[in-house]
Amino acid sequence: MDIPRIFNITESAHRIHNPFTPEKFATLGAALRMTPGTRILDLASGSGEMLCTWARDYGITGTGIDMSQLFNQQAQQRAQELKVADRVTFIHGDAAGYVADEKCGVAACVGATWIGGGVAGTLELLNQSLVPGGILLIGEPYWRKEPETEAVAQHCFASSVSDFLTLPGLVASFGELGYDMVEMVLADREGWDRYEAAKWLTMRRWLEANPGDELAVEIRETLNTAPVRHVTWVREYLGWGVFALMAR
């Protein structure tokens, strides 16, 4: 069980697998007003940066689930590095359909709502692990500027303009699904730069070390086009944020 190999390659040096910076995660953690011992479930937890730093800074406990063997190993190493391995656990597995044995005060899916078939399905899944009155965290893209054409949308990791909502449309959709939005922290262009640009150096170093690999041609083509795509389209059109929700 693993994610497609290309993501394990291009994001192998990432601690955060979305457009957030460490400062944004610290802001979000403080905004949630968590008390020490708050239990968190993080579905598609990546390399574990959110759980590990929040365990260090806010005294939470938690469990992360991720399908990437590499990212899960990195999460365990990060927990050891920050001396929080007694408070956070990382499981290599499929987050889709995962329900915690013990209910949590915070249930999160930060940037992987495909595990539930979209926002609505992911919220439904997270709710199964949440204590009454708990907080749901959803990380989701939105259109900072709505694309004029389908071609522009496809430059921004979408198959169609309809794949994402505008920020007002996304926030309104939470209410339509029966939730109050009680906090939000939005990525900025610097966050997008760190997320995307970090891949470029990783790809270049990987290509130098693996010229004959079966993925070398694909990664070379990606590196040829990714910087221009990012500065032309992604920075201009695509936003991303983490939204804290509570059921009405």
Q: Report the pLDDT value the prediction gives residue 230, as an integer from 0 to 100.
A: 98
Residue 167 and residue 241: Cα distance in Å, rounded? 9
Give the torsion through C-alpha atoms of 248, 136, 198, 65, to 10 deg: -150
Q: How confident is the model at residue 96 (pLDDT cuts 50, 70, 90)?
A: very high
* For range 33-55, the mean pLDDT: 97
Q: How confident is the model at residue 180 (pLDDT cuts 50, 70, 90)?
A: very high
Q: Report the pLDDT value the prediction gives residue 227, as an integer from 0 to 100.
A: 98
Q: How confident is the model at residue 74 (pLDDT cuts 50, 70, 90)?
A: very high
* For range 22-38, the mean pLDDT: 97
* For range 8-36, the mean pLDDT: 97
Q: Report the pLDDT value the prediction gives residue 43, as an integer from 0 to 100.
A: 98
Pick from 189, 171, 193: nearest CA to 242: 171
Helix intervals (H) in the chain = 5-10, 22-31, 49-58, 69-81, 119-127, 150-154, 167-176, 189-209, 216-229, 235-237
Residue 122 and residue 195: Cα distance in Å, rounded? 23
* For range 30-54, the mean pLDDT: 97
213-248 pLDDT, tens digit per residue, is 999 999 999 999 999 999 999 999 999 999 999 999
Helix (H) or strand (E) segment spanning residue 184: strand 179-186
Q: How confident is the model at residue 67 (pLDDT cuts 50, 70, 90)?
A: very high
Residues whose CB falls within 8 Å of the CB of residue 77, separated by 6 or more in sequence, listed in order: none
pTM of the model: 0.96
Q: Report how far apart, in Å, the C-alpha atoms of 6 and of each of 76, 79, 233 are.
A: 21, 25, 22
117-130 pLDDT, tens digit per residue, is 999 999 999 999 99
Q: Report the pLDDT value the prediction gives residue 10, as an integer from 0 to 100.
A: 98
Q: Report the pLDDT value the prediction gives residue 45, as an integer from 0 to 100.
A: 98
Q: How confident is the model at residue 157 (pLDDT cuts 50, 70, 90)?
A: very high
Q: How confident is the model at residue 1 (pLDDT cuts 50, 70, 90)?
A: confident
* For range 102-130, the mean pLDDT: 97
